Amino acid sequence: MTAIGFIRHGITEWNVIGRAQGRTDIPLNEQGREQAMKIAERLTDEDWNMLVSSNLKRAVETASIISEKMNLPISFLDERIQEISCGKIEGTTEEDRLIKWGSSWRDLDLGMESTEEVARRGSEFIDELVYLHKGKRILVVSHGAMIGILLQTLLPEKFKTTYMDNTSLTILQNIDGVWDCQLYNCTNHLKTSVLDY
């Protein structure tokens, strides 16, 4: 059995104000760093063999905090698990988009990466990870849309829609090529003080 623990990065200032991030390389804010420390504290009680991350700053910073706390080095960074590219809407809020393109902006071609392309690169990454590290328990720090689209791709009968909270933990298991979800979007660590662990 191979287990993948998906972690969405900690919160950023752009998350707080509702600004589309996509591939824009935004760092964590102070709250995001605190969230990363809380998930790191939680994970120290669990058995994980590997840690990998998207190469975007907010994911790397989250992974680095986890790595230090768990004494588990980041094995590698992978651009295939970057966030969906948001094209022309990167850096805008919903209000900005309504002013610039009107209420039907979602129907316009604004250069956003397709769901199919996100699923393709994410699935390629996961297939390679499972093939090369079969039987391992692997933490993957990535992004909300990427993780959500992967869940819908790997378990379409279970996930029609998804929402991922910052530093949530979602655990998938692969047994003989069959995926199952053990835990979804869990943020119990955010409801407890770091001192309570």
Chain segment 25-37, per-residue pLDDT in tens = 999 999 999 999 9
A 10 A CB-CB count for 119 gives 16
Does residue 33 sit in helix, strand or coil?
A: helix
pLDDT above 80: residue 136: yes
Average pLDDT score over residue span 131-136? 96
Q: Provide the mean pLDDT of the chain.
A: 95
Looking at the domain covering 2-196, what would its CATH class be? Answer: alpha beta
- Nearest-angstrom CA–CA distance, 5 and 49: 11
DSSP symbol at 109? -
Query: What are the residue numbers of the active site?
Result: 9, 83
Q: Output the CA–CA distances (angstroms, integers) from residue 127 to 5, 41, 80, in the order listed.
A: 15, 29, 12
pLDDT confidence of residue 196: 45
Query: CA 154 from chain center: how many Å?
Result: 15
pLDDT at residue number 197: 39
Q: pLDDT at residue 61 above 70?
A: yes
Residue 193 confidence (pLDDT): 56
Q: For 81-92, what is each residue's pLDDT tens digit?
A: 999 999 999 999
Q: What is the pLDDT of residue 194?
A: 46
Residues 6+ apart with CB under 8 A from 79: 54, 55
> What's the average model confidence in pLDDT over 177-197?
82
- Selection from 41, 68, 29, 72 nearest residue 195 by Cα: 41
CA distance linking residue 64 with residue 182, whole number of Å: 25
